Structure 1
Amino acid sequence: MAPKYSLWLSPPGASPASQAVAAAIDKLSSALGGPRFPPHATLFSPVRADSDAKALEQVEHYAAKLRRQLGADAAGIPVEVDSVAAGSTYYQCVFLKGPASEALAAANAAAREQWGAAGQEPFMPHVSLVYGDHPADALPGLQTQAAEALPKDLAALSYVATEIRIVATSGQCEQWHEVGRVSITRQGEVSK
Structure 2
Amino acid sequence: MRKATAIAYWLIPARPVRELFSEIIRILAEELNAPRFEPHLTLFAAPGGDQSARKLLRRIKAQRIHLAVRDVGFSGNFSKTLFVRFESSDAFTELHNELRHGAKSRAEPLPDPHVSLIYKKLAPRAQSELASAIKFPFPGVVFDCIKAIRCSVPARTRADVESWKVIARKSLHQ
TM-score (norm 2): 0.79
Structure 1 counterpart of 2:44, which letter? F
Can you list the C-alpha shifts for 1:129-169, whole angstroms capped at 9, x where unaligned?
Answer: 111233xxx22422422553x4x3x2617322222112222
Task: Output the CA distance in 2 between the equivalents of 1:173 and 1:121.
Answer: 22
Q: One-letter code of the match for 2:40?
A: H
Please say if residues 80 and 155 of structure 1, whose CA atoms lie closer than 8 Å, have aligned partners that are also in contact: no
Alignment check: 8 A CA contact 1:39 1:127 kept? yes
5+ residue gaps, structure 1: 68-73, 187-192
Q: Is the contact made by 1:2 and 1:48 (CA closer than 8 Å) also made in structure 2?
A: no
Q: How high is the sequence identity, in percent, across the aligned residues?
A: 25
> Aligned residue for 1:27?
27
The separation in 2 between residues aligned to 1:57 and 1:129, in whole angstroms, is: 30
Q: 1:140 to 1:105 in 2, by over 3 A?
A: farther
In the alignment, the residues of structure 2 paired with residue 19 and residue 143 of structure 1 have an alpha-carbon distance, to the nearest angstrom, of: 24
Q: Output the CA distance in 2 between the equivalents of 1:81 and 1:38.
A: 19
Change (3 A) 1:172 1:157: farther
SS at match of 1:48: coil
Shift of 1:93: 1.4
RMSD: 2.6
User: Partner of 2:69: helix, strand, or coil?
Assistant: coil
Of 89, 92, 96, the residue aligned with 1:108 is 96
Instruction: Write the distance in 1 (CA, Å) between the matches of 2:33 and 2:139.
Output: 24
Q: CA separation of 1:16/1:139 partners in 2, compared to 1, >3 Å: closer, same or farther?
A: farther
* 1:132 partner letter: K
- Residue 9, structure 1, aligned to residue 23, structure 2: no
User: What's the counterpart of residue 184 of structure 1?
Assistant: 172
Find out whether 1:56 has 2:54 as its counterpart. Answer: yes
Post-superposition offset of 1:103: 0.8
- Determine if contact 2:66/2:142 at 8 Å carries over to the other structure: yes
Partner SS state of residue 138, structure 2? helix
Equivalent-residue separation in structure 2 for 1:39 and 1:158 (angstroms): 15
Cα distance change of structure 1 residues 2 and 57 upon mapping to structure 2, 3 Å threshold: farther
Greater share of residues in strand: 2
Q: Give the distance between the partners of 1:120 and 1:36, measured in 2 at CA.
A: 28
CA distance in 2 between counterparts of 1:185 and 1:175 reads 29
TM-score w.r.t. length of structure 1 = 0.73
In structure 2, the CA distance between the partners of 1:146 and 1:28, relative to structure 1 (3 Å rule), is: farther
One-letter code of the match for 2:9? Answer: L
Instruction: Please give the alpha-carbon distance, in whole angstroms, between the structure 1 residues aligned to 2:125 and 2:109.
Output: 24
